[in-house]
A and B are shown apart, each in its own frame.
Chain A
């Protein structure tokens, strides 16, 4: 298979890669860039563990072919902390006890981030809808919703 060149901006930095065209964005993030924060939970877009932002919109990166992000801004969980400081969402997840096994957490936070970027004061119902594609088996979602609400009341969303 002939490789293709893809240019993208990853967590604020321009990147150019040459890869096989049948790689998904998830595979490139984890295996080419070595950023393992984004997880595979099902490989079919059914669990949300692989959620990243493409031009600030949440996507299941396991369903995105790498060529589809040509020229776009991709943000992963690693891109949320700046200078080692945690984003408000990340801090609130810790404070509110919204993290148990943590496997759904990166995808969950990215979906929440996408929500707060376009709706800075969401209702509880809007929060639940925004994360309805992110499955969690440990927490029962209760503290996750509370953490996102708390972040919306306390933070300034800048990406």
Chain B
């Protein structure tokens, strides 16, 4: 990986990527370079893979944090050479909002185990990851759950503009949670909270 690569290039996401796209890209790339990944056998040594992983993590920690991302974007736009470790951003006091998406503590391979997927970590990206790990396309899920595709996409993207009223989101997420073997009640409650706080902060 070049020293000149931006965090967006490291994660292979476009500049206008949403936070959920960034999270999803990070998790996919991370699994490709993880210790047990047979996909890197004979092309990358473990040392080289570790370097890739640490660059990925650095990129993710910045871009998944709204304040750090903003600062990083400002540096990129102003043509400053983006320091790979940006100076700490002074947190301004603000109204309570949802925390930036944490690095999930659970191995996502086990994301479908209701005992391991903590509902409070639910996010659009996690919904997408679970769906993909089950080899389901959006069309498949739409067919099974009868949720319109545009809302499935909006849920995964946490797209507050396209999502319908709260009562529908609740119903949809309960439906999805059942399909993905998560706790329907808790998952939908936390997801609605997530969307609410996103709406309040914009």
Q: Does B bind A? A: no
